[in-house]
Structure 1
Amino acid sequence: MTTKRDQELLSAAALTAFKLNGQFLELAEHLARPSGLTVAWWQVLGAVINQPLSVSGVAREMGITRQAVQRTADVLVGRGLAEYHDNPAHRRAKLVALTPEGRVAMSAIGPDHANHARELSAVLGADQLADAVAALTKLSEALDALDLSD
């Protein structure tokens, strides 16, 4: 049985997540701008920095639509920051991979990213920051488990 407190907590969690999303987008814009990237470009490049992924794989990893990733990937390829590779697992679904130029753009974010990470850790404390990340991860997993079928 759902209690009023359960509903209040769900609402508070959602509102806090919405605020955090806005705060992280503002920080991401601040970090990405000097390297010539947009937040959307950084998001897609970041998803494939360690290994190429399909557009659908990037969408799942980042929690955004496949169509949005496809549009962004096409722009990144057009600008020479990413390229498409053949996908041995699927003939039609190409893999998105970083180019050397994409790696340079991503590495340009590193120093400011490290400074802000250090500042955040100093404000919260490293253990509390790790606990917050763990709680957010657990919350995300719980939301994934919800039955959202009509």
Structure 2
Amino acid sequence: MTKREQELLSAAALTAFKLNGQFLELAEHLARPAGLTATWWQVLGAVLHQPLSVSAIAREMGITRQAVQRTADVLVDRGLAEYHDNPAHRRAKLVALTPEGRAANSAIGPHHAQHARQLSGVLGEDQLADAVAALTKLSEALDALELSD
């Protein structure tokens, strides 16, 4: 690895860490009026279209299975999600939205649309799409790395 490659890896990581913080702050801002936290919204969003196991949610969101399990339990306790039997695995239940969870998730929509318009206005839609494509490509490249001790 050249010095430049090391600098680029560090710069990419530091920028991603900053972006993560910025997106979490935005997510908290968007979720709060709907009575959610960013974490709750993240898990509800993962099962918006279909029920998933806790492990599948964790893989999709890039967070630990334990963190998803704790969050799913809270969402179930609050009536925003429910557990369903999983035909593929007896012990691994599926997390699914309840009507209350779907309503809470939907309540975020107008605010989300407003912030999407603002961000697109700052960057321009094409540049925002290019940024998303670059971030996706970077994520895929990181997935392809062989991490060894």
Give the TM interval when normalised to the shorter protein: over 0.9
Residue identity in the other structure for 1:141? E
- Which residue is 2:141 aligned to? 142
Query: Offset of 1:107 from its aligned partner?
Result: 0.5
Counterpart of 1:80 in structure 2 is 79
Q: How does 1:18-57 map to 2 (within 5 A)?
A: 18-57=17-56
Q: What's the counterpart of residue 99 of structure 2?
A: 100
Distance 1:86 1:22 in 2: 35
SS across alignment from 1:83 = strand
Percent identity reads 88
Q: Distance in 2 between matches of 1:24 and 1:39?
A: 9
Q: Deviations over 1:47-73 (max 9, x none)?
A: 000000000000000000000000000
* TM alignment of 1:53-72, pairs within 5 A: 53-72=52-71
How many Å apart are 1:149 and its aligned residue? 2.1
Structure 1 residue 105 displacement after superposition: 0.3
CA offsets per residue over residues 93-136 of structure 1, 9 Å max, x none? 00000000000100000000000001101110111000000000
What is the deviation of 1:146?
Answer: 0.8
RMSD across aligned C-alpha pairs, in angstroms?
A: 0.5
Aligned-partner SS, 2:79: coil
The amino acid of 1:83's aligned partner reads E
CA distance, structure 1, for counterparts of residue 106 and residue 148 of structure 2: 41
- Cα separation, 1, equivalents of 2:25 and 2:43: 17
Is the aligned partner of 1:129 residue 2:128? Answer: yes
> What is the distance in 2 between the residues matched to 1:39 and 1:136?
21
* Letter paired with 2:89: H
Per-residue deviation, residues 74-110 of structure 1 (Å, max 9, x unmatched): 0000000000001111111000000000001000000
Given the two structures, how large is their TM-score scaled by the length of structure 1? Answer: 0.98
Q: Counterpart amino acid of 1:114? A: A
Gaps of 5+ in 2: none
Aligned residue-pair number: 149
Deviations 1:2-23 (A, max 9, x none): 1100000000000100110110
